[in-house]
Amino acid sequence: MGQPLGHSRRVASLARMLGHAMHGESEHLRVAEQVALLRWSGCTANAEGFSHLLGDDVAGRRAMLDLTLDAHSLQAVHQATSLAVAHCEVSGEVAKTLELGNAVETGLCRVFETYDGTGRPLGLKHEHIPEVAYQVVLAGDLEILSRTHGVETALNWITEQSNQRYPASLAALLVQNAREWLANLEATPVAITDAVHDKDVSLTLVGDVIDLKLPWLSGFSRQVAQLAAEAARLCGQSEAAIDLIAKAALLHGLGRAAIPNHLWNTPGPLAYGAAERTQLASYWTHKACAQINELAAPGEIAAHAYERLDGSGHFRAFASRT
C-alpha cells in the first residue's frame, strides 16, 4: 500500500485509543487491534488489478490513501469494485484461518464501506457496518494524513467526512483527542502485542499471501520451501536447520510487495534504475522480518536469497570468501 513499515501497528494503537475512549477496557479493543493489524493483509490480492488501473500499484495506492491521487484515477478506483472484493475476501480468509473470530472477519470485510452507503464492495447502509470498521478507518486516515499533510489539515478533512465516510460522533471524538493520541504515539514506541500472537501463525499462509502479488507466482513460495528443505536434507543438515531454511524460503519474497508489479512484469532486461528498485526487495524482506523476534533468523537467511558467489547479487553484494 506504499506505507512505511510500522504503519499498521501505529494504526492499531490509535484504534485502541479511540475504542478505549468510547467503551473502556473490554474485548472490543482486541478486535479493533486485530482488524487494524490485518487491514492490508489482502493488498497483494489486487496488486495486479491496481497495476493495470494506475500503472504503479504501490505509488498509486499510496496516492489514493494520502489523497494525492488525481480525480480521474480516483473515480476509476471507486468503480473497480472487484478490487475491493478480492482484498476483502483474502483478508477475511486470513482472519478465518487464524481463527480470530467472526467480529474480526466481519470488520475486515467492511473497511471499505462508508456511513453514507456509497462504499465498496457492497454499498452497505450504516446499520450493517460494525463500529470497529469505522474505528480502524478513522485511525488509518489520521495516521496517514497527519504524516502527509499535517495534523490540522488531516483533522479538517476528517471533520468534513462526518456522516459520509464515518459517523459524526465518532469522528468528533477522534478530532477532540487526536493531538494527544498522536503525541502519545510518538513518545512511546509501538510494540507488537500479543493480539495475533496467542497461537502459531503458519508461514505457509504468509507465503501464499506473498505470492498473490503476481498471478504467475501462485504456489511459488511453497515450492521453493519444499525444494530448499529437500536440498538441505540431502546436504546432511540437521532437522532444526532444515526447518529454518524452509521458513526462510517461505519468507524470501516478502519484500516483493514494496516493488511495483509493472517492473516484475517487464519482459527482458530492466533499465538500470528499474533494476535497482527490484534489488531492494531483499532489503525490505530483511527490514520487515527483523522487527519480529520469531522471524529474525529465517528472515536473515531469506534476505540473502539473491546474493551471488561472485558478489554480483543483491542487496548487499556479498562475495564468497572461500
Q: Is residue 313 over pLDDT 90? A: no
What is the pLDDT, as a whole number, of residue 240? 97
Q: Is residue 191 over pLDDT 90? A: no
Position 312 confidence tier, pLDDT thresholds 50, 70, 90: confident
| Superfamily of domain covering 7-187 | Hypothetical protein af1432 (1.10.3210.10)
Beta pairing partners, 166: 162
Task: Find out whether 39 and 91 touch, Cβ atoms under 8 Å.
Answer: yes
CA distances from 116 to 40, 112, 145, 156, 174 (A): 23, 12, 21, 19, 19
Position 75 confidence tier, pLDDT thresholds 50, 70, 90: very high
Position 124 confidence tier, pLDDT thresholds 50, 70, 90: very high
The pLDDT tens digits for 290-304 are 989 999 999 999 999
The Cα angle at residue 18 between residues 14 and 20, in degrees rounded to 5: 115
Task: Find out whether 39 and 140 touch, Cβ atoms under 8 Å.
Answer: yes
The pLDDT tens digits for 234-293 are 999 999 999 999 999 999 999 999 999 999 999 999 988 899 999 999 999 999 999 899
Task: Count other C-beta atoms under 10 Å from residue 55's C-beta.
Answer: 13
309: DSSP letter? T
Position 319 confidence tier, pLDDT thresholds 50, 70, 90: confident
Q: Quick one: which H or E segment has residue 116?
A: none
Q: Quick one: which H or E segment has residue 313?
A: none
What is the pLDDT, as a whole number, of residue 15? 97
| 108/227 Cα distance (integer angstroms) | 34
Position 321 confidence tier, pLDDT thresholds 50, 70, 90: low
Q: Is residue 49 over pLDDT 90? A: yes
| 47/58 Cα distance (integer angstroms) | 8
> Which whole number is the average pLDDT over 8-21?
96
Phi and psi at 166, nearest 5°, equal: -150, 165
| 118/53 Cα distance (integer angstroms) | 20
Q: Is residue 10 over pLDDT 80? A: yes
Q: Which amino acid is at 146?
A: S
What is the pLDDT, as a whole number, of residue 199? 64
Position 118 confidence tier, pLDDT thresholds 50, 70, 90: very high
Position 160 confidence tier, pLDDT thresholds 50, 70, 90: very high
What is the pLDDT, as a whole number, of residue 283? 95
Cell 495475533 belongs to residue: 196
Q: Is residue 105 over pLDDT 70? A: yes
* Cell (9 digits) for 13: 494503537
55: DSSP letter? S
What is the pLDDT, as a whole number, of residue 317? 82
Hey, what's the torsion of the CAs at 82, 171, 188, 256, to 10 degrees?
10
Q: Is residue 322 over pLDDT 80? A: no
190: DSSP letter? P
**Every domain range in the chain assigned CATH 1.10.3210.10:** 7-187
Alpha helices per DSSP H over 195-237: 203-211, 220-234
Percent of residues, the chain, with pLDDT higher than 90: 89
